[in-house]
């Protein structure tokens, strides 16, 4: 008896991974970043969960509150997400009364985003526990030490950010 013909669902071999010298990896910093991010987002996550929102909502409310009047194109560029992803989140925030969308003053086709009073209060409520964590972590540090942290975090980001 002959085996059945292949149906096109044959497994592809995984891509070859580059050779890495694990002595060059700073596992301690990687782990601290994982844990810091987990804890940094835990407080806002609890607030967002109560509203039926997630981290994408947090990012939108945060940046719109920080830059009222930003365009949808600006927000897409900042967040580096698809229009489809933003549209769903933005609709929920608009429908819930946290964000308002207005036509641009020069170009009526342009959509500018503004936080409502509730949106601004939400952004502050989400940022406050994060700010407390930062203050606790930097307590007793000099201005120069805090600047080193800012440089480190900026260095972790792609240049356009």
The tens digit of pLDDT for each residue in 95-107 reads: 999 999 998 777 7
Name residue, tokens 């946290």: 98
* 161: pLDDT strictly greater than 80: no
Q: What is the mean pLDDT of residues 78-98?
A: 95
Name residue, tokens 């981290």: 55
pTM: 0.82
Q: What is the pLDDT of residues 56-73, one digit of tens each?
A: 999 999 999 999 999 999
Q: Tell me which of 146 and 158 has the higher pLDDT.
A: 146
H or E segment and range at residue 60: helix 55-66
CA 103 to CA 88: how far, in whole Å? 19
CA 157 to CA 161: how far, in whole Å? 6
The CATH classification of domain 29-134, taken from the options 3.40.50.300, 1.10.8.590, 1.10.10.10, 1.10.110.30: 1.10.10.10
pLDDT for residue 78: 94
Which sequence spans correspond to the domains of the chain? 29-134
**What b-and-e string marks burial along 138-160, b requiring 16 or more CB atoms within 10 Å of the CB?**
eeeeeeeeeeeeeeeeeeeeeee
């Amino acid at each position: 008896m002959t085996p059945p013909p292949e149906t096109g669902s044959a497994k592809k071999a995984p891509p070859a991974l580059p050779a890495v010298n694990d002595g060059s990896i700073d596992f301690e910093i990687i782990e601290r970043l994982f844990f810091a991010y987990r804890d940094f987002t835990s407080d806002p996550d609890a607030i967002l969960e109560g509203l039926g929102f997630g981290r994408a909502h947090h990012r939108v409310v945060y940046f719109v509150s920080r830059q009222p009047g930003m365009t949808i194109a600006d927000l897409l560029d900042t967040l580096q997400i698809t229009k489809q992803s933003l549209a769903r989140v933005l609709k929920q925030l608009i429908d819930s009364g946290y964000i308002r969308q207005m036509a641009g003053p020069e170009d009526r086709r342009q959509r500018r985003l503004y936080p409502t009073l509730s949106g601004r209060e939400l952004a502050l409520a989400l940022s406050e526990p994060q700010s407390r964590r930062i203050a606790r972590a930097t307590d007793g540090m000099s201005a120069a030490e805090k600047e080193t942290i800012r440089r480190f975090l900026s260095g972790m980001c792609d240049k356009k950010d």
